[in-house]
Copies of this chain bind each other. A is one copy, B any other.
Amino acid sequence: MLDMFFSPKSLAVIGASKDETKVGHIALRNIVKGGFKGKIYPINPKESEILGLKCYPSVKNVRAEIDLGVVVVPAKFVLDVVKECAEKKLKGLIIISAGFKETGKDGADVEKEMGRIAREAGMRIIGPNCLGLMDTKSKLNASFVGELPPKGNVAFMSQSGALCSAVLDWSYSAHVGFSKFISVGNKVDIADPDLLNALEEDPETEVVMMYAEDILSERRFLQAAESLAKKKPLIALKSGCSPSGMKAISSHTGSLAGDDVAYTLAFKQTGGLRCKTIEHLFIMANAFSKQPVIQGKRVAIVTNAGGPGVMTTDAIEERGLELAKLSEETQAALKSFLPAAANTHNPVDVLGDALPDRYGFAIEKVIADPNVDALIVILTPQAMTDIAGTARLVGEKTKGCGKPVLCCWMGDRDVRPAFEILSSYDLPNFPYPEHAVYALQKMVSFNKIHHEPVKNWIIPKDRSAHRHQESAAIIRQAQSEGRTSLNEFEARSIVKAYGVPVARHRMARTVDEAVHAAEMIGFPVALKIVSPDVLHKFDVGGVKISIKDEAGVRAGYEGILSSIREKVPHARIDGILVDSMVKGQRREIILGMKRNPQFGPMLMFGLGGIFVEVLKDVAFRLVPLTRDYALNMIEEIKSFKILQGVRGELPYDINSIADALIGLSDLVIDFPEIHELDVNPFMVRPEGWGAAGVDVKMLIE
A213 CB to closest chain B CB (Å) equals 6
Name the CB-closest residue of B to A387. Answer: B169
The distance in angstroms between the C-alpha atoms of A352 and B102, with both chains bound, is: 15
- In the complex, chain B residues whose CB is within 8 Å of the CB of A315: 277
**With A307-B239, A310-B239 in contact, do A413 and B642 touch (Cβ < 8 Å)?**
no
Query: Given A314-B239, A415-B169, A307–B162 Cβ distance below 8 Å?
Result: yes
How many Å from the CB of A358 to the closest CB on chain B? 15
Please give me the residue from chain B that is nearest to A416 by CB atom: B173
Chain A 301-314 interface mask (CB, 8 Å, partner B; 1/0): 00011111011011
Stretch in A376-384, A490-498, A591-599, A655-663 with 4+ CB within 8 Å of B: A376-384
Among B168, B169, B311, the residue within 8 A (CB) of A239 is B311
Contact A173 B413, beta carbon cutoff 8 Å: yes
Check A381–B166 contact: CB distance below 8 A: yes
The answer to whether the Cβ of A288 comes within 8 Å of any Cβ in the partner chain is: no
| A-B CB contact pairs (8 Å), 22 listed | A160-B305, A160-B306, A161-B305, A162-B304, A162-B307, A163-B308, A163-B380, A165-B382, A166-B381, A166-B410, A170-B412, A173-B413, A240-B314, A241-B317, A242-B317, A243-B317, A277-B315, A610-B641, A610-B642, A614-B641, A614-B642, A615-B639
- Which of B243, B307, B642 meets A213, CB within 8 Å? B307
Contact partners of A211 in chain B: CB under 8 A:
307
Q: What are the residues of chain B within 8 A of A21 when measuring CB–CB?
A: 384
A470 near B: Cβ within 8 Å? no
A382-B610 in contact (CB<8A) = no
Q: By the criterion CB–CB under 8 Å, are B239 and A279 in contact?
A: no
Answer whether residue A222 sits at the interface, using C-beta atoms and an 8 A cutoff: no
Closest residue of chain B to A641 (Cβ to Cβ) is: B614
Residue A549 CB within 8 A of the other chain: no
Instruction: Determine whether A613 belongs to the interface, using a CB cutoff of 8 Å to chain B.
Output: yes
**A276 CA to B26 CA, complexed, in Å:** 45
Q: Is A103 an interface residue (CB 8 A)?
A: yes
Q: Are B646 and A160 within 8 A (Cβ)?
A: no
**Shortest distance from the beta carbon of A639 to any chain B beta carbon, whole Å:** 6
A278/B432 contact (C-beta < 8 A), A242-B314, A310-B240, A314-B241 known: yes
User: What's the least CB distance linking A72 to chain B, in Å?
Assistant: 12
Q: How near does chain B come to A98, taking the closest CB pair, in angstroms?
A: 8
Contacting pair B305 A413 (CB below 8 A)? no
Is A689 on the interface with B (CB-CB < 8 A)?
no
Among B317, B352, B610, which residue has its beta carbon within 8 angstroms of that of A647?
A: B610
Q: Which of A373-404 contact B (CB under 8 A)?
A: 380-384
Map CB proximity to B onto A152-174 as digits: 1 under 8 Å, 0 otherwise.
Answer: 00000011111101111110111
User: Are A411 and B165 in contact (CB-based, < 8 A)?
Assistant: yes
Are B173 and A412 in touch, CB under 8 angstroms?
A: yes
Cβ-defined contact, B341 with A305, below 8 A? no
A487 to B523, CA, bound (A): 48
Please tell me if the beta carbons of A311 and B165 are within 8 angstroms of each other in the complex: no
Give chain B nearest CB distance to A676 CB in angstroms. Answer: 22
Within 8 A of B (CB), among A294-346: 304-308, 310-311, 313-315, 317-318, 341
Contact B383 A26 (CB under 8 A): yes
Residue of B nearest to A340 (CB): B103
A434 within 8 A of B: yes
- Known contacts A169-B415, A383-B145, A639-B615; decide if A610 and B311 are in contact (CB<8 Å): no
Within the complex, the shortest CB–CB distance from A605 to chain B, in Å, comes to 17
Indicate if A690 sits at the interface (CB-CB under 8 A): no
Determine if B314 and A162 form an interchain contact, defined as CB atoms under 8 angstroms apart.
Answer: no
Min distance, Cβ A483 to any Cβ of chain B, angstroms: 29
Given contacts A145-B383, A310-B240, contact A162 B412 (CB under 8 A): no
B615 touches A165 (CB 8 A): no
Closest 9 CB pairs of A and B: A160-B307, A162-B305, A169-B411, A166-B410, A162-B380, A173-B412, A172-B413, A242-B317, A614-B641
Nearest-neighbor residue (CB-CB) of A383 within chain B: B144
Within 8 A of B (CB), among A450-482: none
Q: How far is the CB of A661 from chain B (nearest CB, A)?
A: 21
Whether B279 lies near A432 (C-beta < 8 A) is yes
Q: Contact: B310 with A213, CB < 8 Å? A: yes
Nearest-Cβ distance from residue A452 to partner chain B, whole angstroms: 29
Q: Does A524 contact B (CB under 8 A)?
A: no
Which residue on chain B has the smallest CB distance to residue A27? B383
Interface flag for A414 (CB, 8 Å) = yes
Name 19 extra pairs, CB < 8 A, besides A160-B306, A239-B311: A161-B352, A161-B382, A162-B305, A163-B308, A165-B305, A166-B410, A169-B415, A170-B411, A170-B431, A213-B307, A213-B310, A240-B310, A243-B317, A276-B314, A277-B311, A278-B410, A279-B431, A609-B647, A614-B639
The distance from the CB of A344 to the nearest CB of chain B, in whole angstroms, is: 15
Q: Which residues of B contact A304 (CB under 8 A)?
A: 162
List residues 200-227 of chain A with CB under 8 A from any CB of chain B.
Answer: 211, 213
- A173-216 toward B: CB 8 Å interface, digit per residue (1/0)? 11000000000000000000000000000000000000101000
Closest Cβ of chain B to A18, distance in Å, is: 17
Does A541 interact with chain B (Cβ within 8 Å)?
no
Chain B residues closer than 8 Å to A279, beta-carbon distance = 431-432, 434-435
User: Which residues of chain A (230-284) have a CB below 8 Å from chain B?
Assistant: 237, 239-243, 276-279
Contact A277 B642 (CB under 8 A): no
A614's contact among B158, B311, B646, by CB below 8 Å, is which?
A: B646
Interface flag for A638 (CB, 8 Å): yes
Residue with the greatest number of chain B CB neighbours at <10 A, chosen from A26, A169, A313: A169
In the bound assembly, the distance between CA atoms of A310 and B239 in angstroms comes to 6
Distance of A609 Cα from B172 Cα, bound (Å): 56
A372 to B159, CA, bound (A): 29
> Please, how many angstroms separate the alpha-carbon atoms of A646 and B240 in the complex?
33
Tell me if A681 is interfacial: C-beta within 8 Å of chain B. no
Q: A384 to chain B: which residues have CB within 8 Å?
A: 21
Q: Contact check: which of B161, B165, B307, B413 meets A163 at CB < 8 Å?
A: B307
